A = this chain, B = another copy of it.
Amino acid sequence: MKTKVVIVDDHSLFNDGLSLILKESGDYEILAQIYDSRKAYNECNTLLPQLILVDYNMPFLDGLTLVKQLRTLVHRSKIVVISMYADRREIEAFKAYEIEGYLSKTSPSAEILLSLEKIIKGENVFQVKQEQKTSFEKDFFSLKKLLTKREVEILKALKKGYTSEQVAQELCLSYYTVETHRKNINQKLKFNSKKEFYEFLNTIELEEK
């Protein structure tokens, strides 16, 4: 049984090359090669890959933010980040989203294949020493499962560029209510900065398809 893979990398040559390498090994089926990270969320939502390979450096939507989004999917894919530079701090940033692997583009491809094999079998592989292992498994959530209907409505209004005050007017609510909802949203999604929140807000698809 071949492992179903989606590759997300804006560098087409690399994307295609990696795709070929995986195909050649005979163990992988490439469901999609995505060149624009902004499309990854929706693609993975329908394709349901077992493994998602994500580049770290991408325009518009960087690897970290993308991984955060992908983790809100109901379907739990294994996520492996492939970075140009194997940086410890970079890895730390990803720890929160409990990715299954972090590999470097500078590694020989044989090594990459070996690492991926291990990851498929359930191991986690971090090319730079993993010093602190997470003691408990967090529950992974679907955005829609985690957020309530009202909270999604609040997000939709915020997507229009409204302040909490304006959202309150729009939805005929008290300012305090809106703030409460935002507070709960922030708690659930654990944003580390305003930038992250707005990045999420700008890229997430809230309308039903």
Q: What is A's interface to B at a CB cutoff of 8 Å?
A: 10-14, 16-21, 24, 35-36, 59-61, 82, 84, 105-109, 112, 132, 134, 158-163, 192-199, 201-203, 205
Contact = CB atoms under 8 A, between A and B. Distances in A.
A15 to B, nearest CB: 8
Contacts of A18: 13, 17
A12 B194 contact: no
A192 B160 CA distance: 11
A106 to B, nearest CB: 6
B198 A194 contact: yes
A11 B59 contact: no
A170 to B, nearest CB: 14
A11 B108 CA distance: 8
B20 A13 contact: no
Nearest to A196: B161
Contacts of A84: 11
Contact of A14 (B13, B158, B203, B205): B13
Contacts of A59: 205
Contacts of A109: 12-13, 16-17
For the complex of A and B, the 9 pairs showing the least CB-CB separation, nearest first, are A17-B17, A198-B198, A161-B193, A11-B105, A161-B195, A16-B109, A20-B20, A199-B202, A12-B108
A202 B195 contact: yes
Contact of A195 (B16, B36, B201, B203): B201
A135 to B, nearest CB: 12
A5 B118 CA distance: 33
Given A105-B11, A162-B193, A202-B199, A132 B36 contact: yes
Contacts of A193: 161-163
Contacts of A160: 195
A178 to B, nearest CB: 15
Contacts of A11: 14, 84, 105-106
